[in-house]
Amino acid sequence: MDQQQQAHILLFPFPALGHIKPLLSLAELLCHAGLHVTFLNTDHNHRCLTHLQPLSTHFPTLRFESISDGLPTDHPRNVQLVGDLIFSVKSVTKPRFRDLLADLSTKSEHPVTCVIADGIMSFAIDIAKELGVRAMTFWAFSPCGLWSFLCMPKLIEEGQLPVGGEGDDMDQMVRSVPGMESILRRRDLPDICRQQVDDPLFQFFVEEFKAITRTSALILNSFDQLEALTLSHIDPLFSRIYTIGPLTALLTSRIAHDVSRSLSSFNNLCEADRSCMTWLDSQPLRSVVYVSFGSTGMMTRGQLFEFWHGLINSGKPFLWVVRQDGIAGVEGEHAIPEELHEGTKDRGFLVDWAPQEEVLAHQAVGGFLTHNGWNSTLEGIVAGVPMLCWPTIADQHINSRWVSEVWRIGLDMKDTCDRSTIEMMIRAMMEERREEITKSMDRIAKLAYDSANQGGSSYHNLDKLIEDIKKKV
């Protein structure tokens, strides 16, 4: 067999949709290059993605495996209980991963030659090294988020963490993150920075960010032109960095086949309600505000009603993803109040989940009210849709700051949730500042397109990644 046939990559995401989705896109790109790929999910998420199995017929070098996350079947696995998932994976999944990788590396027809593990799954990198398998890290968050995380030990040492305490000036600039001195405020730091430094979850992330530099290579779902300054600070910490984003644009550029056969069309743990596409067809050009706070975002009923009133009062038609499990403290069929459905009939359309990339690409959509998860942020950029940002967790706080102040492709509404502000910000995005924001967005969207197409930086970097995997260096 030649090196291309022998190369076998094991992809192992953290068990959350925002981490699974980009690695599935990478899996498709690697399979398209003729590489053997094993995609490893937890048993829970594997069951949710059973509809992916038939796609193996279109990707003969792809297989799916699963492993326990150690939690009971009925555990909600939501963002409010993410600590349960993190510590269970670390204690229960880790030894099982070692056994599985040992088997795949010795007993498989095509032994695993490279592990690409999620950036907060450092144990997978360490186990791969123990077993003599090359290991790379895939970072599912933004590079600007990564750099702020990597600077956390310095912020702790200087006594700047935690933030958000009583009397804390959250608009004070953070001067200890090189390259961000004039941009980053205390409120823009990742949400974990609002925890006490001795909190077990805080300590977990600090240790993971220290461990990430042990990898032989770092793969980023971003592109050079978007975050050149940040990348210049990260680059010296790693022997190799591959910026290969936006992955959604790279898929479009590299793989010319029916989208219905694509892994990227089947990578959701939730089933999309496609009736919203018919509704969008009936709406005027660039008139609709698309609202989604992601697959794990949570809000209170009070916040739900503030957004509802703000959207109604803005006078704009809106398509709103309101997940049944996305309202804190309420479950089942009564999670979404009936008056919300009734009150949106004339101007709005509610769905439990939407085919987001298709929605953003629809000509009726003129604005994106988002939590600024990195996948959503990149998808908004690729579609060229201005954003209104309401971040809640992880790197979303810093992403929203970059959207508004660095790239100037949207507006930041973090740490506030009242109907008058929501109405005002929607009107600013869709009317008063529309021309200004759209001009910046058009420029950034073109950079994304150019990077992902032949001759672009991400296109080239993917070729380099594939070449290096084949060489098994």
Q: What is the DSSP letter of 405?
A: I
Alpha-carbon gap, residue 376 to 360, rounded angstroms = 10
What tokens were used for 130? 């123990």
- Cα 116 from Cα 137, distance rounded (Å): 5
203's tokens: 């300590």
Element spanning 386, H or E = none
Q: Token pair 């950036």 is at which residue?
A: 119
Q: Say if CB 430 and CB 290 are below 8 A apart.
A: no
Burial class (CB in 10 A: 0-12, 13-18, 19+), 196: exposed
Q: 260: how many CB neighbours lie within 10 A of its CB?
A: 9
Catalytic annotation, pick one of 19, 362, 371, 397: 19
- Please report, for residues 54, 359, 434, the alpha-carbon distance to residue 447 in angstroms, rounded to integers and kept in the order given: 35, 21, 20
Q: What is the C-alpha to C-alpha distance for residues 393 and 201, in angstroms, rounded to an integer? A: 13
Catalytically annotated residue among 118, 188, 224, 412: 118
Residues contacting 63, CB < 8 A, separation 6+: 37, 38, 39, 56
Nearest to 208 by CA among 297, 146, 163, 130: 146
C-alpha pair distances (Å), 400 with each of 92, 200, 224, 295? 35, 26, 19, 18
Tell me what percent of the chain is helix, strand and coil, each rounded to the nearest 5: 50, 15, 35
Instruction: Provide φ and ψ at 421, rounded to 5°.
Output: -65, -40
Amino acid in position 347: R
Query: How do strand 218-220 and strand 241-243 relate by DSSP bridges?
Result: parallel
Annotation marks residue 19 as catalytic: yes
Q: Which tokens go with 330?
A: 């309420």
42-60 as b/e, with b when 16 or more CB fall inside 10 Å? Answer: bbbbbebbeebeebeeebe
Is 224 catalytic? The answer is: no
CA dist 296 and 354 (Å) reads 14
Judged by DSSP in three states, 278 sits in: helix
Question: How many CB atoms are closer than 10 A to CB 209?
Answer: 19
The neighbour count for residue 242, using CB atoms within 10 Å, is 21
79 touches 393 (CB < 8 A): yes
Q: Give catalytic residues, as residue numbers.
A: 19, 118
